[in-house]
Amino acid sequence: MISTSQETHDRIAHIVLQGFDRYRSKFRKITSGARARFENADWYAAQKAAADRINLYDLAVSDVVDLIQCSVSSSILKPDNWPMVKQCYIQQIMGRTDYELAETFFNSIYCRLFKHQVMEHEGMFIHTSLPGVKSKTGIPITNIYALGGEGLVGLLDEILDDHIFTLPWENKRRDIRNIIKHLELTLPRAVWRSNQVKVEVLNSVFYRNKASYLVGRIESEGMIIPFVLAIMNNEKGRVYIDTLLMDRDDVSILFSFTRSYFLVDVPVPAEYVRFLQALMPSKSEAELYSSIGFFKHGKTEFYREFLRHLDTSADEFVSAPGIKGMVMAVFTLPSYPVVFKIIKDYFAPPKEVSRVTVMEKYELVKRHDRVGRMADTQEFSNFVFPRHRFADSLLQELQEVAASNLIIDEHTVTIRHLYTERRMTPLNLYLQSCTEKQCLDVLDEYGNALKQLAAANIFAGDMLLKNFGVTRHGRVVFYDYDEISYLTEVNFRAIPEAAYPEQEMSGEPWYSVGPNDVFPEEFPRFLFADVRIRKLFNDMHGNLFTPEYWQGLQAAIREGRVMSVYPYRRKKRFPRNELAASEQLE
């Protein structure tokens, strides 16, 4: 055992930092393998690596906590000693390019050791130890390209050569022509033909699912424009440019909270986040840290942003709009774009899930490919709110349905366990007030959401409109996870014909129904009370009402196929037919 002293505090801090370094090494090793997986078109391995990298964090925290508990006397492992450990740790992480991640890792160790019971800044980094400090390491994170004698063709050729893969290009000349044609159609000529045009591209390639991305920006004529090239593997040993994204909304959707985290090597995380935020000013630091794989630090930044917002706002927490759920109590702060979700103490019939099952479902979503159709969540323990910011009606409601989760005193409301999630407009409410065009668009989106979830081996289970939300970009996203399952676990059946008419008129089914049986023919009646809406949806996505559609996807998944789901509209994809590309240039 180690004795109590400055040396002890240093030693504990060193154990934590060594554990963090081991975690970062394993994290970067998985990340660095993304290129080989992309080039080999090993999509199953890519999915597994993304999940394995998420799992690393909790494993690393457990290892460090076990080591500290084995190495240090229990009399020392008290919150009162932790301010000294923290000061030693600060000295050890000074000068690091990832100090903010190291702070978050320290917080995780603290919370695991003391079971989230004592949450005080003195012993942990509720606020950063280096406020206002931005990493400026001098390490170059971008390459800068300017027009030369060969014009745009030469500039683009240089960009592609600098990020070359071991695979050859399917048709590099065609891809460059597609890019130039897109620039012609999208930007004023004075911008993309200016002698002062400059393209700055991040050194690291962003990998996710079946694509890789070069991310940067165009600077010309006083304008700064996002520049993201999507690169695909044709699964025949060559790569090609699938599209160029320059619209901020398109880039924001690419980095959405509804998608899996990128695998990208970022030696200086803060500088990468700062660069990305310049491209997407509407994105918070919390969102961007999460999007590049540092979801735990994203959680830290979210909490800090939330505290700052509380200090500059005065509105009250209220029940979230929409039909109240049977499993979760949901509330929000109108001035803040987030909902807080608490598992209820009791689920009324017909719900048969348990609290543990609900938590497992949310964990599944965290680790699974969300394909742009499931909202990411952050899980918190002992989240403290100011008591005076709660509407009395909300507090009464929470006490009625989730009393075991609450600790209330004169000044605070502490919730033992909750999830945070981006607030969206519930789809059923959206349909009540939208225009006819918006109705058609959002119904198409709803159908696409169901199909893309299914392509990712996810069956929503409870597909009611109230369980889907509409984002500010008009995308439809699923957010109620207590009944989700893998698509391959579901038995999709056709309703057998009745033996005689009286059976059909009966209120009870005349056929046996197993626990995993689903009858798609029943979807229209359950999903759409409005017959007009039902018909519109059927015209767009009527195949969802047939068991054959779902069975076909199941067969493809069981064969090991990983289906393509694009983070942009299909119409934005470049033509790959040589003739079509040439014709478009004329």
Which CATH number does the domain housing residue 455 bear? 1.10.510
Structure tokens at 504: 């059909």
Query: Is 211 among the domain residues?
Result: yes
In a domain, 289, yes or no: yes
Q: 471 with 442, same domain?
A: yes
Q: Name the burial class of residue 195, with classes exposed (0-12), middle (13-18) and buried (19+) by CB atoms within 10 angstroms of its CB.
A: exposed
The structural domain count of the chain equals 4
User: Quick one: pLDDT at residue 304?
Assistant: 96
Q: How do residues 230-280 score in pLDDT, each as one tens digit?
A: 999 999 999 999 999 999 999 999 999 999 999 999 999 999 999 999 999
Chosen domain end from 303, 334, 363: 303
**416 and 500, same structural domain?**
no
Are residues 339 and 330 in contact, defined by beta-carbon separation less than 8 angstroms?
yes
Last residue of a domain, one of 528, 545, 562: 545
The H or E element containing residue 328 is: strand 328-332
> What is the Cα–Cα distance from 569 to 254, expressed in whole angstroms?
11
Residues 342 and 481 in one domain: no
> Is 376 among the residues known to form the active site?
yes
**Does a structural domain hold residue 466?**
yes
Q: How open is the CA angle 309-311-313, to the nearest 5 degrees?
A: 65
* 341 carries a ligand binding annotation: yes
Judge whether 323 is annotated as a binding position.
yes
- Is residue 138 annotated as involved in ligand binding? no
Residues 377 and 232 in one domain: no
The closest alpha carbon to 365, from 484, 468, 461, 279, belongs to: 484
Q: Which residues pair with 342 in a beta bridge?
A: 329
Q: Which of 98, 175, 369, 376 is catalytic?
A: 376
pLDDT digits (tens, 9 = 90+) for 52-88: 999 999 999 999 999 999 988 887 888 899 999 999 9
With a cut of 60, say whether residue 336 has pLDDT above it: yes
- Same domain for 158 and 275, yes or no, is yes
**One domain, residues 199 and 297:** yes
pLDDT of residue 133: 57
pLDDT category of residue 1 using cuts at 50, 70 and 90: very low
Spell out the residues 6+ positions from residue 316 whose beta carbon is closer than 8 angstroms to its own. Answer: 333, 389, 390, 391, 394
- Gap between the Cα atoms of 156 and 158, Å rounded: 5
> Is 564 within the bounds of a domain?
no
321 annotated to a ligand binding site: yes
Please tell me whether residues 163 and 261 are part of one structural domain. yes
Same domain, 252 and 400: no
- Residue appearing with tokens 């009162």: 80
Instruction: Answer yes or no: do 432 and 417 share one domain.
Output: no
Regarding beta strands 491-492 and 517-518, do their DSSP bridges make them parallel or antiparallel, or are they unpaired? parallel
Closest CA to 401 of 482, 480, 327: 327
Burial class (CB in 10 A: 0-12, 13-18, 19+), 433: exposed
Rounded Cα–Cα distance for residues 586 and 583 (Å): 5
pLDDT over 50 (residue 105)? yes
Q: How far is CA 373 from CA 53, 62, 185, 241, 452, in A?
A: 21, 31, 30, 24, 7
Same domain, 294 and 148: yes
Rounded mean pLDDT, 512-520: 90
User: How high is the pLDDT of residue 98?
Assistant: 95
Q: Are 150 and 278 in the same domain?
A: yes
Specify if 585 maps to a domain: no
DSSP per position, 50-118 = HHHHHHHHHHHHHHHHHHHHHHB-TTT-SGGGHHHHHHHHHHHHTT-TTHHHHHHHHHHHHHHHTTT--
Residue 545, helix vs strand vs coil: helix
Q: Annotated binding residue at 131? A: no
pLDDT at position 4, please? 54
If you average pLDDT over residues 276-288, what whole number do you get?
95
pTM over 0.85: yes
The per-residue pLDDT of the chain, averaged, comes to: 92
Distance CA 291, CA 258 (A): 10
Phi–psi pair at 165, nearest 5 degrees: -100, 170
Residue after which a domain boundary falls, among 303, 329, 363: 303
Going by pLDDT thresholds of 50, 70 and 90, the confidence category of residue 579 is very low
pLDDT, mean of residues 318-325? 93
Q: Cα separation of 145 and 202, whole Å?
A: 11
The pair of structure tokens assigned to 283 is 């994105």
Domain assignment of residue 82, yes or no:
yes
Please give the Cα distance from 360 to 424 (Å, whole number): 23
- Return the minimum-mean-pLDDT range out of 118-122, 332-336, 446-450: 118-122
Model confidence pLDDT, tens digit, residues 110-148: 999 998 877 788 899 999 988 765 556 678 899 999 988
Question: Binding site annotation covers 188?
Answer: no
Can you tell me the distance from the alpha carbon of 259 to that of 470, in angstroms, rounded to the nearest whole number?
Answer: 15
Residue 157 Cα to chain centre, angstroms = 33
E strands in 157-287: 198-202, 206-208, 211-220, 223-233, 239-245
Say how far apart CA 343 and CA 359 lie, in whole Å: 9
Fill in the amino acid letter for 455. Answer: A
Cis peptide preceding 350, ω within 30 of 0: yes
State residue 503's pLDDT score: 63
Domain range for 83: 1-114
φ, ψ of residue 66 to 5 degrees: the values are: -60, -40
Determine how many CB atoms are found less than 10 A away from the CB of residue 516. Answer: 12
| 325 among annotated binding-site residues | yes
Residue in the structure block whose two tokens are 């006490």: 399
Q: What is the mean pLDDT of residues 455-467?
A: 95
Tell me if 324 is assigned to a ligand binding site: yes
Which of these, 538, 539, 540, 515, lies nearest to 528 by C-alpha position? 538
Quick one: how far is CA 359 from the chain centroid?
17
Indicate whether 317 and 201 sit together in one domain: no
Is 565 domain-assigned?
Answer: no
- Non-local (6+) Cβ contacts of 32 within 8 A are 265
Longest dimension (CA), the chain: 86
Q: Three-class SS of residue 531?
A: helix
